[in-house]
Amino acid sequence: MRQAFLAIVLFVFLVLEGVALELLPESLINVSIIFIPHWIIVFLIVVNLFYKEDKSHVLIVYAIIFGLLVDIVYTNTLGVYMFAYGFAFFIATLLKRILQENFLMAVITTIITILVIEGVVGGVYTVLGITNVYWLDNLTIRLIPTIIANIFFLIITYPFIKKVIINLNNRISI
């Protein structure tokens, strides 16, 4: 039941990532900045924090699978997001072992994970010649708005995700 629930929620976030910008009013969308929703990873980070059992390996597999789905649905290059999501979430699971399980840790882990994802994706796209953006422009136009938007998403969804995961843990342990 838990695995099916996680897969369904992740699939919903995959679909919503594609229409996220369409849901915002035109006055909030500025053409000079770009933000990329990484809601799948944000959700997996919070789940990883409060999952009762140590199932980090299962969540890493989810990150890899849904990274591949992001590649298939939203990009023309297969494997970039699959590797970036898997590698970044692996780092997030390592951070879970070091840091405490609270909101601030979720924010720090989300920021680090998004930095890793954007760094890997930007690096691979630069090496492949798909993009050639100066790093300072990338920082101001894409990276900072992406981090802010995903932290905003974390702030909104954190209490709900935490409550659902804790309820699932309690329901299973009874």
Looking at residues 29-49, what average pLDDT do you find?
Answer: 86
Query: Which structure tokens are listed for 164?
Result: 């659902």
Listed in sequence order, the DSSP H helices in 24-143 are 39-50, 56-74, 80-98, 103-128, 135-138
Distance CA 44, CA 6 (A): 9
Looking at residues 73-82, what average pLDDT do you find?
Answer: 91
Distance CA 119, CA 115 (A): 6
pLDDT of residue 152: 94
* pLDDT 10s digits, 121-135: 988 888 888 877 777
> Dihedral sign, CA of 103, 5, 174, 52?
negative
| Residue 38, number of CB atoms within 10 A of its CB | 27
What are the residue boundaries of the structural domains of the chain, listed by start? 38-169
Entry pTM: 0.89
For residue 69, name the pLDDT band (cuts at 50, 70, 90): very high
* pLDDT 10s digits, 79-122: 999 999 999 999 999 998 888 888 999 999 999 999 999 999 98
Please count the CA atoms within 13 angstroms of the CA of 22 that sit on its side-chain side.
Answer: 5
| Residue 27, number of CB atoms within 10 A of its CB | 6
Mean pLDDT (the chain) is 86
Distance CA 145, CA 84 (A): 19
Long-range Cβ contacts of 18-21 (<8 Å, 24+ apart): 18/73, 18/74
For residue 173, name the pLDDT band (cuts at 50, 70, 90): very low
Q: Kindly state the DSSP code that residue 166 receives in the 8-state scheme.
A: H
For residue 174, name the pLDDT band (cuts at 50, 70, 90): very low
